[in-house]
């Protein structure tokens, strides 16, 4: 996720206060969502995260506001946040699958992609082309 822009920050012996205090955990495998794995989380930078309040110098968990790609803002302490994020991720995956089905996969009967058959593409798209378009 993209973080927030700060006008001022408190620097501690561990870095910026509040920085990396929270993370998005993928409950399917227990891994932290990261831009280092764009194939697994291709839409991660479409979301924004910001602390709900000023950072505290204690160990209590702070609420984070997450801005979804459609500009809806949800709070990390909402009871339905997992479901909301799953729906957002599912919608992105359906879009990628639809692109692959129509632009990247040769139809057995047509012997070209459906997009080529409809005059919407002049070649079979690679997964890299589809991934770049998704970003």
Is the pLDDT reported for residue 100 higher than 90? no
Question: Is 92 within 8 Å of 131 (Cβ atoms)?
Answer: no
Mean pLDDT of 32-56: 77
Specify the long-range contacts of residues 121-129, CB closer than 8 Å, at least 24 apart: 125/99, 125/100, 127/100, 129/103, 129/104
Alpha-carbon gap, residue 86 to 68, rounded angstroms: 12
Half-sphere exposure (Cβ direction) of 63: Cα atoms closer than 13 Å:
11
Whether the pLDDT of residue 21 is over 70: the answer is no
| Confidence (pLDDT) at 92 | 60
Instruction: Name residues whose C-beta falls within 8 Å of residue 26's C-beta, 6 or more positions apart in sequence.
Output: 32, 33, 40, 41
For residue 115, pLDDT over 80 is answered with: yes
Percent of the chain exceeding pLDDT 90 equals: 2
CB distance 92 to 100 below 8 Å: no
Prediction pTM value = 0.52
Beta carbons of 125 and 99 less than 8 angstroms apart: yes
Distance CA 47, CA 113 (A): 32
pLDDT at 58: 64
């Amino acid at each position: 996720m993209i973080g927030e822009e700060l006008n001022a920050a408190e620097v501690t012996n561990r870095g910026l206060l509040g920085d990396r205090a929270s993370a998005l955990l993928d409950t399917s495998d227990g891994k932290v969502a990261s831009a280092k794995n764009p194939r697994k989380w291709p839409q991660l930078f479409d979301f924004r995260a910001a602390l709900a309040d000023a950072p505290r110098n204690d160990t209590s968990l702070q609420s984070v506001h997450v801005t979804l790609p459609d500009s809806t803002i949800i709070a990390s302490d909402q009871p339905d946040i997992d479901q909301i994020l799953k729906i957002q991720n599912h919608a992105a995956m359906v879009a990628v699958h639809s692109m692959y089905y129509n632009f990247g996969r040769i139809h057995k009967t047509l012997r070209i992609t459906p997009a080529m058959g409809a005059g919407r593409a002049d070649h079979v798209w690679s997964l890299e082309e589809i991934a770049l378009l998704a970003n």
